[in-house]
Chain A
């Protein structure tokens, strides 16, 4: 555990919230944008102490804990491990980029827009660092309100329908999650997540709590039958809203699976794994197939998200070292590439005022820089070797093949579908018949500034994923060891219990040999 003396995580959570209040005193639109940009840069600076993260341990680090509601044993308790720290970095990085990509896109009610943006970022950092169940739930729900407003106020023509659907779907899903939290509390007398992980629960209890939590997470991810809110929300949301939705919000679901379902309900996770794997594979194939037929660029990328997130849940529920590592890498990578693709769609929308592929063709000749970025993020999206997408998808697939050849064989067509729809989109944009592309300007400096960092990350994580993998490895090893030992305890409790030590060592060697 690192004690820096400086409350890094609290600063990251509350600085944007406090800065949001500062917006009330600003009038001029340009000042508001600049102010938020500076806030974003300071926020990035505040995240710098997180680089002192100790790579050798799976313990929660930068922990802050203080009493909150003593009567109910609630604490303000935050901390990060290898699974959450990368998500926090991504969240913090996205704030200035979102401000930049909305610079000319958002024309009305600028102050409120940036207010919502800052609230979102604060809540999202809170989600990934909360170690108290109630605190987690508060951030989890609180972030819905600014997102709802982002879609409902600054969205496209169907914004009312899309925002309502988004809000009701996700909130209805998480109400049962609240019941599960209450059940955990009454069972153990604590809301502390690390403490809850040390308790044992009966299978019956795990069965129901897993279902309640998994519903909330599956809607957020979104997994196949619960995905219908996503295309509507993506298409209608403004660029920054789509970026945050794709890069961070969807990850909350998979993060929930990793943080709660596996450690707290291992036996039920094992029991439901076949179902979750089936749904994941259906998501991959269905999302890919639907994406192939889209004419709207945003819709295409939205459906591709369903497929990509299917890989994440697939990697999680095969319970292999590489599968889970790949899943976490895919969470980060999907955040980077899909976020960037949405920014690119937003950039071209500002030029053509249309998201139809047919209206935006022939860019290869007239907007080469734009096509360069588009091509890079598109190949990263379908997992071209050398890009970050390759690392994560390869890891997930290796993990899946380790678990079962059949499952691997079923997931492989998803990769081909991804290549097909992304290449189809890229080809049409680059070499299709231009309609008005000749009159458009290529990327300006502002657009370069927000795309370049993401492009660097794509190549960095693609060519040198070592540091990221090292960061997540101890936590994944710990997670799986804990999972294996406790699952074994439950499933074999009626038989001769196997000493858990053995399986821990077994997995530990599996974890370090790569």
Chain B
């Protein structure tokens, strides 16, 4: 098989970036000033990924598939990478000598996720997943003088290792029963409990690894602790991009799942529990990152609605929601990172009077909070609507009802963010003046919020891309 280089353009571009970063890590410190062009370079990556939309094909002995789905997610990953790099440029808790390494690991993790989005063979998926994870194992403890960071890092590594082992174990079962690891061949095999119980157990274990990444109940426990322990900027990355990666593999694997299968029902139940548990736990949180951690547990449940539906429409809805989630969560974290100038963890009370200190940031926070609730006219609402539609179509009425009731619970804690920002008085300095927020970095946050609003008003374009992705995965056109 010929290696078609044009299929590999986004990955090669990112690889080149990583090479450059590697040179910076070993080079003299005077070169480090180039780091500030990294967000720009990642931004160019968005264009590169967009150009590669026209290509499709299978390579590396059928293990690597370039199609609508993969290119859609590569674009989204570049977008997220650009924003997180921009966000992390002035990270206050990072010691100076670790700066290039930090970005090197960020990009490596993104590369892993990018490979993940094209992998259509279980071992390849596994390797890509590990590449994405190992980089994060190094990133999370990189927060100087913070014992919680070490704890978070250890937790993530240990639980990650256990889940990896389980996934490997599951993989061996699948291989043992079906004698193949290619998704295209696995699609044709039987996955029923009565005929191939071991394969089904294997698949469940393998899915566990993805649920771990996605922080779906019951594999969510690391999530609030790791968010809390990691620096704000790292948490912004961990909370968004790996979720995209998990969603894309789930979309791929969902071709194996039949709506009548026992596993699908299990996934639906997990989705319901995840939403409810995440929301109820978030209600009592005071630490902003823990709050967002539990909220991401509930959002993992929402994404599962589309996966459970399993139709092209459902997969498209899940893909759409994953990108929307990336945008709104990044907007929220953007505000947190700008507010926490010294890198400490913010409490709800730290948001008090934000409208006085920085009206723009308060607006960005409000937009992203309302989007996370799923309130119109934000993209969060549209994403949720598509998910609900697709799940209802497949007859999961109870799941849809649970999902909408959950939005009612979620209102309380997301609205709390807005209430603290808008209705509480700002803290004043000794001289009686309101503390302004220095270096608001408003423009980028504003752009994120505008994107969230724009996708709420005019979701058609992005959704048609997501449909391409869903169709590519499902093998059926909507």
Contact = CB atoms under 8 A, between A and B. Distances in A.
Interface of A: 67-72, 112, 134, 137-139, 141-142, 144-145, 148-149, 152-153, 159-160, 163-164, 167-168, 171-172, 175-176, 178-179, 182-183, 185-186
B375 interface: yes
Contact of B411 (A67, A139, A167): A167
Nearest to B320: A71
Given A142-B376, A168-B412, A175-B405, A182 B400 contact: yes
Contacts of A149: 422
Contacts of A176: 401, 404-405
A141 B392 contact: no
A172 B423 contact: no
A205 to B, nearest CB: 11
A134, A163, A179, A182: which has the most chain B beta carbons within 10 Å? A182
Interface in B345-392: 355, 366, 370, 375-377, 381-382, 385-386, 388-389, 392
B324 to A, nearest CB: 14
B449 to A, nearest CB: 14
A72 B393 contact: no
B172 interface: no
Contacts of A163: 419, 423
B385 A178 contact: yes
B415 A164 contact: yes
Given A141-B381, A168-B412, A152 B392 contact: no
Nearest to A109: B355
A72 B419 CA distance: 34
A178 B388 contact: yes
A160 B419 CA distance: 8
Interface of B: 313, 316, 355, 366, 370, 375-377, 381-382, 385-386, 388-389, 392-393, 397, 400-401, 404-405, 407-408, 411-412, 415, 419, 422-423, 458-460, 463-464, 467, 478
A175 B407 contact: yes
Nearest to B460: A69
A167 B415 contact: yes
A179 B305 CA distance: 14
A160 B422 CA distance: 10
Given A141-B375, A171-B408, A182 B385 contact: yes
Nearest to B456: A138
A141 B376 contact: yes
Contacts of B422: 149, 152-153
Contacts of B404: 175-176, 178-179
B388 A152 contact: no
19 contacts: A67-B460, A69-B382, A71-B316, A71-B464, A72-B386, A134-B385, A141-B375, A141-B376, A142-B376, A160-B419, A163-B419, A171-B411, A172-B408, A175-B405, A176-B401, A178-B404, A182-B389, A183-B392, A185-B389
A182 B392 contact: yes
Given A69-B463, A163-B423, A178-B404, A145 B385 contact: no
Given A178-B385, A178-B388, 19 more contacts: A67-B460, A68-B460, A69-B460, A71-B463, A138-B377, A141-B375, A141-B381, A145-B370, A148-B415, A152-B423, A163-B419, A171-B408, A172-B408, A175-B408, A176-B405, A179-B392, A182-B388, A182-B392, A183-B397
Q: Closest 6 A-B residue pairs measured CB to CB?
A: A138-B376, A172-B408, A175-B404, A152-B423, A175-B408, A141-B376
Contact of A71 (B355, B376, B400, B460): B460
B362 to A, nearest CB: 10
B393, B404, B460: which has the most chain A beta carbons within 10 Å? B404
Contacts of A172: 408, 411
A148 B422 CA distance: 11
B423 A153 contact: yes
A69 B376 contact: no
A160 B423 contact: yes
Contacts of A68: 458, 460
Nearest to B367: A145
Nearest to B316: A71
A71 B377 contact: no
A142 B373 CA distance: 12
Contacts of A148: 415
A159 B376 contact: no
B381 A186 contact: no
A160 B412 CA distance: 13
Contacts of A145: 366, 370, 375
Contact of A186 (B366, B392, B412): B392
A185 B400 CA distance: 13
Nearest to A143: B376
B423 A168 contact: no
B183 to A, nearest CB: 25
A141 B393 CA distance: 24
Contacts of B408: 168, 171-172, 175
B399 to A, nearest CB: 11
Contacts of B392: 179, 182-183, 185-186
A10 to B, nearest CB: 13
Contacts of B366: 145
A71 B459 CA distance: 10
Contacts of A186: 389, 392-393
